[in-house]
Amino acid sequence: MNAVEIDCVTKTFGKAVVAVDDLSLAVPAGTVYGFIGPNGSGKTTTLRMIMNILYPDRGSIRVFGAELHGACTDRIGYMPEERGLYKKMKVRELLEFYGGLKRNGNVRGEVSRWLERLDLTDWANKKVEVLSKGMSQKVQFIATVVAGPDLVILDEPFTGLDPVNTDVIREAVLEFQSAGTTVIFSTHDMGMAEKMCDFIFMIFKGRKVLDGTLESIQSEYGSDTIRVRAENGAGKITDIEGVERINNYGRYQELRVAGDRDPHDILSTIMARTRVTSFEITKPSLHDIFVRIAGEEAREVCNV
Amino acid sequence: MSKLWKVALREYKATVRTKGFIIGLVLAPILMGGGAIGMALFKDRVDTRDRRVAVIDRSGLLAEVLVRAANDRNSQVVIDRESGEKLRPAYLIEIVEPHETARDSQLLQLSEQVRRGQLHAILEIGEGVLHPRKHRETAVIAYYGANPALDEVRQWVGRPLNEELRRLRLVGAGIDPTTIPDAFDWIYPESLGLVSADPETGEIADADRSTELQALLLPLIPVMLMFLMIMMGASPLLQAVTEEKSQRIAEVMLGSVKPFQFMMGKLVGGVGVSLTAAAVYVVGGVLFVRHLELGEYIPYGILPWFFAFMVTAVFMYGALGAALGSACNDATEAQSMALPSMLPVMIPMFVMMPMVMNPESAFAIGLSLFPLFTPILMLLRQGTPSGIPLWQPWIGLFLVALTAILFVWAGSRIFRVGILMQGTPPKLGNIVRWAVRG
């Protein structure tokens, strides 16, 4: 059973901008699906179309097997990229309002449970406008999940969160998964996507460029990467024949080996120049794959 | 509870619970009626400094009379007999001999004295005032002052001068005025409504006395209240929607409610706000007026129409405001939209006076049946003493309801597109395209 099925969907804005171009995608129920892609590549438009906030020009979108025409979707919790909270309302009041819109009956107990879990109980009767950015992000997260949706869509849930809160949200997401909830989230944090997602989907200029498990994506690229740590690494590891690209991470370097070269030869060349303290011949990281696809323009947005 | 009602309830609470609403509820009538109340309070607080007026009497007939009349007045109304307090200014008449050759320079010299504050004004009485038909050129009474049009002394001098002139004309005709003391008494025609018979007893009742209060002020009160209610219930929607759009609240909301439910919820909330405020004013107003024992002036018959027009008006103007608000991107754009969106409410306020004077003219009927103006103008015409045929408010209400439905429909289409459209300026072309295409 697929939670979401996107079938040949195209969405244009005006005449010139094709935000999503002939996209097809299936999100199996109970999985965590990561949406990656450079800014402006169509992630948010796709998420909004799943939410039925935007309508596709062509193609169809089915959520839990049904097409949602003009109906809003109480089984989905949606957290947009930018925070949308009524600033003058009190935290608890706001959460009960948002929760009540999705679910009939009392959400008070759920609200209390989530406030406690995200360490916001002391702020329950404060107005939203006094919250810090991280706190309002957490409030927004609660608003998304408080009604107990079957599908949770999170647009960049981790931006602006400190490591402690990132972990809290990450654990909550994984807990949803184990409870059978489907989670779709978009992120620029490739490490987070690698760690959390069952499936990764990459959209670039409105088109699907990657879709599958991390392993299947990486295996498409083969073991063409050498991760090496050496004395004076950055200075010594330059201009090596057979290396297409070097990513310098400071304490170690990542080398992409040309298809027709043997990584062992490259390693020998490096060892002849300097003292290698550790090395690993590995599959390319998601970050590297992202950069390979999106090129120069994407590098700024995925500084991992 | 449906989502629409949940949205409406939130909107209602968000407005009614604020201090601004409660303060506004108290302040609005004070500001609107403030002028009248202020004038009533300060009516007796007049400037009691004496008014020194120079009189140049070229006829030689009136100066002395004026001095006597001023003295009579001063002895009667200036000092309160019981408290000894000075209530009004005394009028002090100074007779100035007319300069035969240099009239202009004499006037200039006296004007300078007025400017320096030594005199209040100059009264110049022409030579031919006794027989104006014979001496048209010189039958003039001229009053020179710093602010002559609104001058109380100018308003006062007319009567004693003319009474004396009439007396002199009778004497000139050989009649002793004391033999006909009521020769110049004036009887004002009273304004009365039409006589009607009691349908049960057949008894003919006295006609109601019709006053200016009834003819001018009474029709205005429900209209002012309507204006206030539209300002409270409908106008804030424009800014509120823009705010929800720019703060991305709309996107969260649209994940839970349909655009139509969202907008309609806001409108219902707005109607709730204006019903609350109107109830406070109407109940408060009726109790207050009854307390003043003026209960007969309360137009109970208009109240149901007032509420019917108010509810439809808030839907109509509110949908207009919400649609425009969804097309704006920030507070500045919303600000520049505020005036055009309020024009349909402002224009009727400017044509109120001609409407009250002639409520049954074709102009009045036509304009009051134009749905955007109906809630205010129809109500105004209904409040006039003569009233209007009953079919007119019914047709008006029907058209307003129809327009409100059309606006809500088109507005929700604009709203749905506009609310997510960041960075597109609110041009008329865009708005119309969104309404047509959805």
CATH code that applies to domain B51-179: 3.40.190
Among B48-62, B199-213, B303-317, the minimum mean pLDDT is found in: B199-213
> Cα A296–A297–A302 angle (5° rounding)?
90
Set of chain A residues whose Cβ sits within 8 Å of the Cβ of B422: none
* H-run or E-run covering B108: helix B103-116
Residues of A with CB under 8 A from a CB of B: 48, 51, 53-54, 70-74, 76-80, 82-89, 97-98, 100-102, 104, 140, 143
- At A42, phi and psi to the nearest 5? 120, 5
Question: Residue A303's pLDDT band (boundaries 50, 70, 90)?
Answer: very low
> Cα A63–A68–A70 angle (5° rounding)?
150
| Arithmetic mean of pLDDT over chain A | 85
Is ipTM > 0.85 here? no
- Choose from A51, A72, A78, A90 for mutation: most chain B CBs within 10 A: A72
* CB within 8 Å: A86 and B255: no
Q: Is A184 helix (H, G, I), strand (E, B) or coil?
A: strand
pLDDT beyond 90 at B327: no
Distance between CA B358 and CA B125 in Å, rounded? 41
Contact B214/B229 with Cβ under 8 angstroms?
no
Task: Write down the pLDDT at residue A304.
Answer: 39
Q: Which two tokens stand for residue A267?
A: 């390693």
Burial of B353 (0-12, 13-18, 19+ CB in 10 A): exposed
Percentage of the residues of chain A whose pLDDT score is greater than 70: 95
How many residues in total does chain A contain?
A: 304
pLDDT beyond 60 at A298: no
Name the residue ranges covered by the structural domains of chain B. Answer: 3-30+212-437, 51-179
Q: For chain A, which domains are there?
A: 223-282 (3.30.70)
- Choose from B245, B256, B412, B427 for mutation: most chain A CBs within 10 A: B256
pLDDT tens, position by position, B387-432:
788 899 999 999 999 999 998 888 888 887 887 776 677 777 777 7
Contact A227/A282 with Cβ under 8 angstroms?
yes
Distance between B247 CA and the closest CA of chain A, angstroms = 6
CA A166 to chain centre: 13
pLDDT tens, position by position, B120-147:
999 999 999 999 999 888 899 999 998 8
pLDDT beyond 50 at A59: yes
Contact B146/B111 with Cβ under 8 angstroms?
no
Q: Which two tokens stand for residue B58?
A: 């070229």
pLDDT tens, position by position, A161-200:
888 888 888 898 888 888 889 999 998 888 888 888 999 9
